[in-house]
Each structure stands twice: as C-alpha cells, then as structure tokens.
Amino acid sequence: MKYKIETNFNNNYNKYQCTIIFVNKKYNNPTNIYNNIINEQINKYKFIKKKYNIHKIKSNINKNQDIFLIEYNKKKLKYNILKILITKSLKIIKKKKYKNIIFLINNLNDKKLNWKLFNIIHITENLIYKYLTFKTKKKKILNKNIYFETDKINILKYKKIINNSKIISSGINKTKNLCNTPPNICNSNYILNKTYKYIIGKNTKISYLNEKKMKKLSMNAYLSVNKASSNEIKMIKIKYNNNKNKKPLILIGKGLTFDSGGLSIKSSLNMHEMKYDMSGAAVVWGIMYIINKLKLKLNIIGILCCAENMINHNSTRPGDVIKSLSGKTIEIINTDAEGRLVLCDTLTYIKKYNPSTVITIATLTGACLIALGNNISGLISNNNKLAKKLIKSGKKTKDIIWQLPLYKKYNKYLQSNIADIKNCSNSNYAGTITSACFLNFFTEKYKWAHIDIAGTAWNKNGATGRTVYLIIKFITKYIKKNK
C-alpha cells in the first residue's frame, strides 16, 4: 500500500473513488474540513446503534465515487475496535475500481489523530501480509493509494508518523518473511546474507563468528548444537552505535534454523514447524532493521545465534559433558534443550562489551506454551524494574508478556552428579523457569531479561513477528530517554 496525506480534500474531491468515514453517535463531529456534501451525508445518517454497520452512499457530484460510513457503537475507539473497522474497510477497498481511497478520520476526536494514523497503517500492513515466495500462481497483495485527510499546519509531523509506522510494519513483515522461509533455504548463511542486504547504514557494522573462530574461543556449548549439521554455524553480530558515550543494550536471539531435537529426537507431529526455532534471531534482526532505518540515537548490539540441530554420527549425545566458554561444565541430558546451549556461550561472550542491559529472545521451551498458551509470551528477569518496563511496552503494543519468577530454589533441578550443571531438568515441572535458571547460571552482573516466544512466534497462519514492536517501544520509551 502507499500512504499519503491530503490537506486539500475539498478541491481534490474528484480524485477519490472511495471515501471511508468511521462514525460514532457520541463522537461523530463533522468539521468544516470536510466538504458540505460529506457533512450533509453524515448529518443525514441515522445511527442504528448496531455494533458495526456499513452504510453506502452514492455521491451525487461524482458518479465514480462511493462513500462508506462505518458506524461503530462503542464508547471509545480502542485498538481492537480500530482493527475491526480496518478489517471491514479492507473488504470494501478490495474492489478493482477503487484506486485512490481516502480515510476521513479527523472527525473522531476521541483519540489523537497521531495514534489513528500510526495504527491504521500498522494494522493494515499486518492484515494484508502474505508469504507467497513459493506459490507459482501468485495471488496479489493488496496495493492501493491510501490517503488520510489532515490539516496543513502539522503536515511534517504527520508525514513522520506515517513514515515511522511504515518502517516498523516493514520490519515486522520482513521478520515474518525470514521466519516463514523453509529450512532448506533459510540457514545461517542465508540469514547473514539478508543482514548484509537489508541492514546497511553508517552507524551499523556487521560481523560474525564462524566455526573456526568459535573453536579458537572454546565456545563448545554453542558448537555442540551444530555438530551434525551440514550447514555452517554463524554467530552474527549487528552493532549499531549512534550514541558513543553509552554502554550498549544487547539483544540476543536464538536462531535454530531447524531443530530436529538431535538424538533426543522430536515426534514427527508438527516437526515441520521447527523451522520457526530461529524466530528469536529473526525478531532481533527485525528490531535492528527498524533501528537502523529510524536512525535512533542509541548504542545497541543485536546478536543472532544461528545453528541447526540435526542428527548424524557426529551428533552430541545425551550423557556428553561439554566445557562452555565460561569454563563451567555442562552435562547434556536432552539434546533437544539446545537453545540454552547457544545462548549460554553468547551470554558469556558479550561480557566484553560491558552491556547496560541484556535481553534474550527465544523459542525456548514447550513448557511456556503449556503455561501461558499461544497468546502470551513468557518473561523472566533478574531485575524487576526492567521486567516492569517490558510488560508496560507489551501492553502499549498489544503484545502481552507475563512474568514468571526466577526462582533460585529450582536450581536444584539442574544439579548434575558429574558436571557443574545439567542442560535440562529430569522433571516435567516448571520447564520455562528452569530454562531461565540455566541461563542465569551464565549471566554476569548485568541487568538481564529473557522473553520466551515458543508459544507466540507463530500460529497456524505462519510467523507472527511478535515482540518486534514491543522491544522497539521499550527502546524508544526507556532507553532513548534514559529513564
């Protein structure tokens, strides 16, 4: 879609084949910005107080123009209502003859125009997203010219809002593309190439650790995960520094481009969905894409922990003991608990950057899905202030995360007879908490939060892009402003 601003609707009235107006009995407030014909139509309209009602009017000036009043009978225009109104609008504007569509949204004075502008674009781009790369018969993605009528005075501000919303939506949709790409194509090198292609800017530096470098450093926990894969292992680092004096915020994403479970093999039911086990890395990728495009003033490092958990004669065995980068030894109990192995060495590795805050994002535990379902992500942190800020950012972006305790007594589930720690508890209890207990064993003195997106990163329709916007909100609200 193309989104533009119209400041002279009265004179350009004929340009539009379709006009959409959201009306509400309480807040309907035609202003003199509209032309008289439109105002007359709104005034004539009899509210029928149905939850939602679509009323079509033929323009008596321009035969080629249709006007739609979409009535909503709610007190406030909240996000969920706006989403329904846009879903209904999209059904209308699908028609071929509508090329230029204008939304008259200035009459709804119950919410700021800024909020409406941002969210109409944000919701639309999310709703029209389709992953069509492998369809030989291509359906078309809806592409129209969408105009918003505003005043002239604040035009620069509105343009900025539209631009920001477009960039954030594009980052989320590119994240979804990366997640949806099949695992025979999307491997570590594929992600690295997409990073070079899309995340370019004068504040951005991309580098990576390959197998040779990781061996030299003794990142044995990370390396153990990829031992049976014919794809190369890559830890990709995206450094963005537009505020040299600040300690970096570090985001770490789990990037298992396929997770068979290894010798502790998963059941075949839904194993194809294990291509989404790189969603944490994709989310970090999307966030870095957006930050780079928005040129935010901050110091941040995004790390994509890419690997593939496969099976062959080199596979890591349950029972193996590995010496991690930290020097601590790990007894492998279950080779399907591999995400924490790539993350633990990374948590040690990043110490050298002296981070202010570290956030790990990972499809880490099936237990999170059992605890919170597929609508809520899990959150665990060693710092309550940080957790609260993330929860608030989730509420603001309609991306709910729920805090579970970092309950140290459960460390006992990870006690090993022969090594410093086990990679996995033998019990079925509190799997999400014990996974965080494991990671916490490797975190240093920095503030750390962990988001488990195993339940929310994808659904039956494909990748969701969840947590990208949440973290962007967190960054712009708290990190940029140094709160």
CB of 256 to Zn ion, least distance (A): 7
Tokens representing residue 210 in the block? 């390959």
CB closer to Zn ion, 172 vs 343: 343
**CB of residue 467 to Zn ion, shortest distance in Å:** 19
Tell me which of 111, 159, 266, 477 is the catalytic residue.
266
The catalytic position among 340, 422, 466, 473 is: 340
Question: 467 burial class (0-12, 13-18, 19+ CB within 10 angstroms)?
Answer: buried
Can you name the residues that pair with 291 across neighbouring β-strands?
none
User: In angstroms, rounded to a whole number, what is the distance separating the alpha carbons of residues 331 and 447?
Assistant: 27
Angle at the Cα of 235 (from 229 to 236), degrees rounded to 5?
A: 130
Q: Are 254 and 320 in contact (CB under 8 A)?
A: no
Closer residue to Zn ion, CB minimum distance, 259 or 345:
259
Closer Cβ to Zn ion, 177 or 456, answer by number: 456
Q: Is 99 a catalytic residue?
A: no
Tell me how far apart the alpha carbons of residues 234 and 191 are, in angstroms, rounded to a whole number: 9
User: What is the longest distance spanned by two Cα atoms in the chain?
Assistant: 84
| Interface positions with Zn ion (CB under 5 A) | 259, 336, 338
Give whichever of 6 and 259 is closer to Zn ion, judged by the CB atom.
259
Tell me whether residue 329 or residue 334 sits nearer to Zn ion (CB atom).
334
Shortest distance, position 259 Cβ to Zn ion, whole Å: 4
340 is an active site residue? yes
Min dist CB 435 to Zn ion, Å, is: 11
**Residue 279, SS3 per DSSP:** helix
Q: Residue 86, CB half-sphere, CA atoms under 13 Å: how many?
A: 22
Residue 350 beta carbon to Zn ion: minimum distance, rounded to whole angstroms: 22
Of the candidates 334, 312, 415, 432, the one whose C-alpha atom is nearest the C-alpha of residue 381 is 432
**Would you give the distance in Å from CA 383 to the centre of its chain?**
23
Positions annotated as catalytic residues are 266, 340
